[in-house]
Structure 1
Amino acid sequence: MKHNPGKSALHLCFLLLSFLTLQAEDFTYTLNVDQPAPYVKEPVILTLDLNQTNHDVVMLFNFDIRQSEDYTFQRLDIKETESYHDLKIHYVYLIYPLKSGDINITFDLTKKVTTDESLAYSFSGDRDNVKTLVTKNTPIDLPPLQLRVKPLPEGTLLVGDFALNYGIKKHQAKAYEPLPFQVTIKGKGYPPLLERVLPKEGNFTRFTEKPIVKSVATTGGTQSTVTYPMALSHSQSFTLPPIRLIAFDPQSEKSYTLDIPSQQFNIEQVESRHLVDTVDSPDIAKEDWSWLRTLSGYIVAFFAGYMTALSWRWTKKKREKEAHPLVQKIRNCKDEKALLQVLIAADNSEFTSSIEKLEDSLYGNGKISLNQVKQDVLEKII
C-alpha cells in the first residue's frame, strides 16, 4: 500500500481539532466537534464537558459560544450533574458555518467559585427574595476551535435533503384576478429560506407574503417546513416560466434540483364593449372608467380575502396556543429551577434567552422576575 505522509498528517490534524481535552485551574474540559471539515451550511455538533477537579470549593460556570458573522449556532442541551463539590456539566450546540475557508469558533467561559456558607446564605431568604450569591469570577481563555469549511457548488441555493411541493388552485381567472400559488419546501438541513421563489422573468403581477417557517433543531440537524404563500395576476393570458432550485446534500456530496414545471394561465378578457365607448364624440366628463372600477374591485377582493385569512390564522394560532401542552406546564412552575427544567426539556431554540436568564439567576448574580420570564416564554409558544 502506498503511504501518503501529507494525508496522514492532515488526518491527525483534524482529529486534534475535533477533540481537545485540557486541564485548567480547578477543572478539566473537553471540546469535541463531529465535523471538523464541513461544507458551508452543513450542521456541526459541538460538545463541551466541564469537570470540577478542586473539590474544596463550590464551583459554577457560565459558558456560551461567541457571536460571529462566520457561523450561526444554538444550544440544544445542557446537562448538569452536581454532587458535593463535584460539578459536571455537558453542553451540546448546533453550529452552521456560513462561509468557506478556515473559521474559528470562539467561546466565553467564566469560572465562579464560592463557599458552602455563601451558597446557604443566598438561599436563606424566601422564594421571592433570594439573597445575592457572592462568587469570585474568573474569565477562562479557551483556545478557539477551528473548522476547515468546504465551499458549495456554484449556484447552490439550498443545503440539505429537501423535497418540494406546490399548489395552484386554478389556471383560469378574470383579468387582474389573483391566482393563489403556494410552494412548500420540507426536509432536513440548513433552513430553506429563499429571497425569492418566483423568477424575475415574466411581466405578470406578483403578490408575496413572508414565508411560514416551522423548524426543530436536534443533534441530527434541523428539520424544517417552509411555506411560501403567493399570488399571480395579469390582464391577459400568460406563462409562468419553469422554476429550478439547485440544492446540495452534504451527506452524499451531490447536487440535485427542485423543479416546478412551466404553468400556463388563461385570463378571460374584458369585453371590448365595456372598454370602448360607442359614442363618436363623448363628453370628457362621461369617459368610461369601468375598467378602473373592475381593477379596483379585484384588488379590494384580494386584500379582503388576505385580511380574512390573516384573521383566521390569528384565531387558529390563539386557540392552538391555549391548547399547547407546554402552556399549563409553564404556568404550574413555582420557581426558577422548575421552569428551567421545563424549558430545557422542550428543546426549543426560541427559549434560549429565557434559559440563560434563569441560569444566571440560579447560578450567577442575575435578578429576574419569574412571572415576567413566564410571560416572555408563553408569548413565544407557536
Structure 2
Amino acid sequence: MKNNLGNRSIKLFIFFMSLLTLQAEDFTYALHVDKQTPYVKEPVVLTLDINQTNPEVVLLFNFTLDKSDDYTFQRLDIKESDSYHDLKIRYVYLIYPLRPGDMNLTFDLIKKVTNDESVAYSFSGDRDNVKELATVDSDIMLPPVQLDVKPLPPGTTLVGDFSLTHSIKKHQAKAYEPLPLQVQIKGVGYPPLLDSILPDEGNFTRFTEKPVVDSFASTKGTQSTVTYPIALSHSRSFTLSPIQIKAFDPQTEKSYTLSVPEQHFDVQEVAVADLVDTTDTPEVLKEDWSWLGTLFGYMVVFASGYLTALSWKWKKRRISRARHPLADKIQHCKDEKALLQVLIAAGDRRFTPMIETLEASLYGDGKINLNKVKQELLEMLI
C-alpha cells in the first residue's frame, strides 16, 4: 500500500514537472533597459522581446508595467509578427523615474494559451453572435529591473534640453488695462509643466490660463512645446522681476538657466477727479416701455430653444430605436483583434478595406487610430 502511494506521488510529481517544462518551453523572452543609472526624470527606454518556442499551441500576451509612485511610463510601440504558431512580439516603453535611489521596475505579463480549433470556433458565429475566444490564462513572473537613480542638482526645475522664448505686445497701458505676456518652453525631456511661471514678488494683478501643451513621445524622450498665456495689470507703473528657471540636461550632465529679463511697464494713472460723479441730481424719470419688447424677445428665444431640444431628443430616440445590431458590438471592442473578429464574423463585403487595415496593423507595420476606425464603421452602418 505504501509502495503504491509512493509510486503515485512520484508519477504526479513527474506529471506536474512536465507541465512546468512545457510552460517554460512555450516562449523565450529578453527584457532590458537602455540605461540603469539615469537621473531623476531622465527618459529610460524598456524593451521586452517575446519569441514563441512551442509550435503546438496558439499564444497571446498582455504586458504592462505595474503602476507606482516611483515612476511614470507609457507604451511607445508594439510590433507583432503572428502566424498563430510562431509569435514574435516586441513591447517598447518610455519610463521616467521620479525619485533618486534604488528603484525596482515590476511587470504584469499574462500568457494566453489556445489552439486552432478554439480560434476557428471564435470565428464561426454569425454577425449577431460573435463567439468569445477561449484561452487558458496564466500570470508570468518576470524578474524586476533595478535602476540606480541619480539625484538632480539642488534647485532644478526642468530636466532635459529646452529653450525659452517670450513675447510682450506692449509695455504701455491705461490703468487696469491687461498687458499680454506669453512664455514658451520647447525641447526634449520630462514635460516642462510648471505650476507657476511668474515670480512671487510684485503687487500687480496676474491673469493666467492653463498652459497649451503639444507633445510627442519617442525613444529619445518627450518632445514638448508648452505655451503659457499670461496677462498683467495694475493701476500704476510697475516692474516685473526677471523670470529664471533652473534646468538640467542629463545628456551633458550640466545645469543651465532659462530666463526672461526684467520688464518695466508704464501705466497711465486715472485722475481721482475722473472717478467722481459731478452730477448731483439725476435726470427726471421718464416712462420707458422698451423692457417689454426685450422681455418678449427673451420669451420667444426660450420657447424656440425648448422646442428645438424636444425635437432633438425625439430624433435621438428614433435613431436609437433604429440602431444597427452590429453597432454595439463594434463600440464595445477594446482592441484591434476583437474588432477584427467582429468584422470577419459579420461577413459583410463593405468591411473588407477595414479588415485589411486591421490585419496590417496587427501583423504588419501599419498603425491605426482604433477610435477613428470604429467611428468610420459606425457611419457605414447608418
Q: TM-score, normalised by structure 1?
A: 0.69
Q: Does 1:196 align with 2:196?
A: yes
Q: Is the 8 A contact 1:336 1:370 kept in 2?
A: no
Deviation at 1:247, TM superposition (A): 0.2
In structure 2, the partner of 1:149 is 149
In structure 2, the partner of 1:371 is 374
Q: Does 1:76 align with 2:95?
A: no
Q: Output the amino acid matched with 2:267.
A: I
Q: Structure 1 CA distance, aligned partners of 2:70 and 2:58?
A: 36
Deviation at 1:372, TM superposition (A): 6.3
Q: Output the amino acid matched with 2:354.
A: K
In structure 2, the partner of 1:161 is 161
In structure 1, the partner of 2:175 is 175
Q: Structure 2 CA distance, aligned partners of 1:153 and 1:25?
A: 47
Can you list the C-alpha shifts for 1:312-356, whole angstroms capped at 9, x where unaligned?
xxxxxxxxxxxxxxxxxxxx96349628829x8559xxx7xx69x
Deviation at 1:86, TM superposition (A): 1.2
* Aligned residues with identical type, % of pairs: 65
Can you list the C-alpha shifts for 1:147-200, whole angstroms capped at 9, x where unaligned?
111110111110000000001000000000000100000001111000100111
Deviation at 1:374, TM superposition (A): 7.7
In structure 1, the partner of 2:258 is 258
Deviation at 1:130, TM superposition (A): 2.9
Deviation at 1:125, TM superposition (A): 2.7
Cα distance change on mapping 1:345 and 1:82 into 2, 3 Å? closer
Q: Structure 2 CA distance, aligned partners of 1:40 and 1:176?
A: 43
Cα distance change on mapping 1:31 and 1:216 into 2, 3 Å? same
Q: How does 1:178-327 map to 2 (within 5 A)?
A: 178-275=178-275
Secondary structure of 1:86's aligned partner: coil
Q: Is the 8 A contact 2:209 2:228 kept in 1?
A: yes
Larger Rg: 2
Q: Is the 8 A contact 1:127 1:335 kept in 2?
A: no
Q: Does 1:60 align with 2:60?
A: yes
Deviation at 1:127, TM superposition (A): 5.7
Q: Output the amino acid matched with 2:374.
A: N
Q: Structure 2 CA distance, aligned partners of 1:345 and 1:243?
A: 45
Q: Does 1:338 align with 2:358?
A: yes
Q: Is the 8 A contact 2:59 2:84 kept in 1?
A: no
Q: Is the 8 A contact 1:213 1:224 kept in 2?
A: yes
Deviation at 1:128, TM superposition (A): 6.1
Q: Structure 2 CA distance, aligned partners of 1:132 and 1:106?
A: 30
Can you list the C-alpha shifts for 1:25-47, whole angstroms capped at 9, x where unaligned?
41111001001110000000000
100-109 vs 118-127, greater mean Cα deviation: 118-127
Secondary structure of 2:138's aligned partner: strand
Deviation at 1:273, TM superposition (A): 2.3
In structure 1, the partner of 2:45 is 45
Deviation at 1:266, TM superposition (A): 0.3
Q: Structure 1 CA distance, aligned partners of 2:133 and 2:72?
A: 33
Can you list the C-alpha shifts for 1:208-229, whole angstroms capped at 9, x where unaligned?
0000000001111111100000
RMSD of aligned residue pairs (Cα, Å): 2.9
In structure 1, the partner of 2:334 is none
Q: Is the 8 A contact 1:124 1:130 kept in 2?
A: yes
In structure 1, runs of 5+ residues without a counterpart are 1-22, 287-331, 356-368, 376-382
Q: Structure 2 CA distance, aligned partners of 1:156 and 1:164?
A: 16
Deviation at 1:65, TM superposition (A): 1.1
Deviation at 1:370, TM superposition (A): 7.1
Q: Structure 1 CA distance, aligned partners of 2:135 and 2:232?
A: 62
Secondary structure of 1:96's aligned partner: strand
Secondary structure of 1:235's aligned partner: coil
Deviation at 1:84, TM superposition (A): 5.0
Deviation at 1:264, TM superposition (A): 0.2
Cα distance change on mapping 1:61 and 1:373 into 2, 3 Å? farther
In structure 2, the partner of 1:27 is 27
Alignment coverage as a number of residue pairs: 288
Deviation at 1:143, TM superposition (A): 1.3
Cα distance change on mapping 1:374 and 1:240 into 2, 3 Å? farther
Deviation at 1:74, TM superposition (A): 0.8
In structure 2, runs of 5+ residues without a counterpart are 1-22, 284-350
Q: Output the amino acid matched with 1:338.
A: L
